[in-house]
Structure 1
């Protein structure tokens, strides 16, 4: 790709009648960065993407691509390409014709368009399949054709709208890896929309979590997973348990925290002494039948091959725990202790 475009939203809002979908969005995306807009249905992520694509007009504010104000430009003058959830391939055209279509529609000679299409198919690992019809390809291959068709236009920004939602779980894992590897190899700017937390963690340089049209938290996948800014983020990214605790003391950036009777040293995250709430990941505790730890009782257990899933009742309330060290589930009603580990536990700042 020839260009990498920066993207900027400046105080962008969007209303549909009396409903405000996006109240005031300011967001910058660096050239060559893959940023994922993540959130539940109705959070505003797709509306944001459509405004960037030129398929919706903002009510107020400015949108810039590569430093140019494109707020009022039509979609075909924005130098972006979009990969849709449905692929939108022409069934009567060959794969190569699908990829070349946008170039030829823009006035490029057929021979040059075919050559560019062949190069694009090679980029996405579909070399030699240009003569096939879309129906003769697998779902994953069709998705790569859709990506090649977008990339061949050499846009400043590639937009991906729930690109893997039509694939089964195993194929989603493979294709998301291919998209990420391609983006890193070519260095194009990409804005990716999904509601799938695991998908967002796997492909993104940064994740923007949206709630009711507002950015709830923005950061790297690791930042959002290990240091959620709110209970909403803690629950939405990785489905953490939210438990009660108490900050016993703070020294510099570290806090001693009582969690169900166990004392753990954690980043203080701006909190002082007193009651606090914590995000507790499902792998933050080991389930033991005896010894030192937070006491509890098995409320349910399920053997899932490479791990056992428990619900434990006890000092922390009812929590969900995944144990990948045991292949024999403890029975319901069995007394247990939880051996807590600092990794997977985080104080939630908003509880201050």
Structure 2
């Protein structure tokens, strides 16, 4: 693959309607050359429609799409210089891996010998050197997916599109293949747009994540930014689960704010907070549980589940019910027992109001 083939992607005020239904009302974003950006969101949020418009499988109702600085808004798929990896792999079952990868090269006019040489080189790149003569049925799911990636990369596209590429793999294989895709992308430096509904997948592979909701961008940023500084309760809960509770900001000086939940006070990053009512996102592993005492925030365990390397609890308090992930598996906190609830220094963030909660004044 050419090192200089990576292209930029620009959406300018793109709208997509299906009859009276507005799937994408007004979408604008930019992806830099060599960047892997994931479109993440629940079913129906518009991420797949966005990818299909970029691929040329759908056309915008309004707005512009540019790839490598060229307006491709109304161009057909075969004139866009993009390649797509589908969740179903879409390999030809009667062709071996080498022929599957070489097929697109031959169709584009390359001589058979050159096409096979390039196909062999790309199979080597994805770790499948020596597997070229195997049929898809003779390969594992992860190997088939790598053949699909190799076939797409062989065409040296400006942008590689990946539509839920790991959804057909089991959990352990998903972890391995997503690592391989990320390492390959970083090594070759190609631009990639990755669509998934899996938060862990998005965190693991992305330079940036664009979280979509109702056809719009709810928040965009690096995986760390989205996880540690969610802009809303929706983002906080979608990016790895969070306990969202009311709190009060007592003081805010510099980069630290002092907050109160019930009678419990705690210092957290300020994020521009000002004194007054607010909401707090608390990650399950940021909650600490200790035996009952004269605690500022006490609770009662209503559910517990041992999961090998951690224990999950639900704890009812005056401030609300907390879902807790506790790594201390060597102790047993029984259902109905009383505990003292506290918080760690990391995994807590003040959040902005959700758009569908206009009546709440968060004081942020």
| TM superposition score category, shorter chain reference | over 0.9
In 1, distance between residues paired with 2:32 and 2:328?
41
| Equivalent residue in structure 2 for 1:336, among 334, 339, 355 | 339
Tell me whether 1:308 sits opposite 2:311 in the alignment. yes
2:353 is the counterpart of 1:321:
no
- Give 2:53's match in structure 1, choosing from 51, 54, 57: 51
Q: 2:284 maps to what in 1?
A: 282
**Contact kept in structure 2, 1:303 and 1:327, CA below 8 Å:** no
Equivalence for 1:29? 31
**Distance in 2, Cα, partners of 1:259 & 1:78:** 54
- Identify the range of structure 1 (252-261 vs 220-229) with the bigger mean alpha-carbon deviation: 252-261
Of 255-264 and 186-195, the range deviating more from structure 2: 255-264
C-alpha contact 1:286 1:338 (8 A) present in aligned 2: yes
1:289·1:336 contact (CA, 8 Å) conserved in 2? yes
Unaligned 5+ residue runs, structure 1?
Answer: none
Aligned length: 352
Per the alignment, residue 120 of structure 1 pairs with 122
- Structure 1 residue 348 and structure 2 residue 325: aligned? no
TM-score (ref. length: structure 1): 0.98
Partner Cα separation in structure 2 for residue 209 and residue 253 of structure 1: 26
Question: What aligned pairs does 1:72-111 form with structure 2 within 5 A after superposition?
Answer: 72-111=74-113
Q: Which has the higher mean CA deviation after the structures are superposed, 258-267 or 124-133?
A: 258-267
Partner of 2:357: none
Consecutive unaligned residues of structure 2, counting only runs of 5 or more, are 354-361
SS of the residue corresponding to residue 199 of structure 1 reads helix
Contact 1:303 1:329 in 2 (8 A): no
Asked if the contact 2:292/2:298 (under 8 Å) is kept, the reply is: no
Q: 2:145 maps to which residue?
A: 143
Write the distance in 2 (CA, Å) between the matches of 1:73 and 1:327: 61
Deviation beyond 6 Å, 4+ runs, structure 1 = none
Partner-residue secondary structure (3-state), 1:202: helix
- State whether residues 308 and 327 of structure 1, in contact with CA within 8 Å, keep that contact through their aligned partners in structure 2: no
Alignment of 1:159-170 (within 5 A): 159-170=161-172
- 1:328 deviates by 3.2
Whether the aligned pair in 2 keeps the contact of 1:271 and 1:349 (CA below 8 Å) is: no
Moved more, 174-183 or 243-252: 243-252
